[in-house]
Structure 1
């Protein structure tokens, strides 16, 4: 399934960003309101583990998606859990398995391609959040914009996120959509449509 391999490329790009995080930077603010860099990475690792459990057949257990306890090396935790998730998605694709994602709905599972698309978006946007906290978004933005398939997949999933109060605003993953600035590339257009300010800085 092509989306699984595109997701693997998204994870690899995010891992490259997160590898630059140093322990003394974990208290930095991020574009995610109220979240420090350390809290954001704990959330990402928890999501990696929850999606991996779902991909291996876990039912609608919300506790599987809990933020990860702080570790001695959050960047390595991110890398390891991302690699495990990539493997789990490939296993699910081979098995033709749907995924239970109780954070989104608890009455039925999601088709695998849709679930992987959700996490592809989450991976790239949170990868950008980390890069923004570190003050170095340019390389990630250029890498995604230079990958025709990956940028196209990101925009496709972004376009499917409803811009309504149920999905956007305080306490939600994304804010109300913004108008992309003139000359914005595909990644920055996706960020703006999801309520991020591509010019954000700490």
Structure 2
């Protein structure tokens, strides 16, 4: 069974526990101990009614054995509408990097970032940039200071996101501790577009779709 929920990331942490309880209720409902479909449906409808109390919640989709058995939109949101998946887009980029390696667009996870993004390296670059690999970016172990959290505004306000991400001071060695940073994912996106000559949107639509009921919006 698959349960999908959508809610704005800016408020996600505040309701995560309540959403987990709601999902636990749905999963308990879905257990194969129920014999009749009608009582199950009534129970699930009740759970989805209660989920409306989770104010940030936008949509819920419940699928079992590949079939959608329930879906609900809240406060004007629709399960068929496009939405910004925010940090979940990192999973999409990781999948695209894997496909790019399989197709020969990239050599592998040990490929050095400096050679792939040479024109965007900062003046007098830190020597550690020469050790930075595609795999380090994928695992959030670039060592570069994060562009997320309190640093996000300044980063997105910069004129060149790639150069600004590469110019961040090192907080650890490449391959060291995990440092969550949207900049690392953006660097992967830049690498994909430079090596393929196509936008990340074009690659995603070509390599991940089309699938029935699935669309990557612009």
> How does the TM-score come out when normalised to structure 2?
0.28
More relative contact order, 1 or 2 (CA 8 Å, 6+ apart): 1
Q: TM-score, normalised by structure 1?
A: 0.30
Higher strand share: 2
Quick check: which has more Rg, 1 or 2?
2
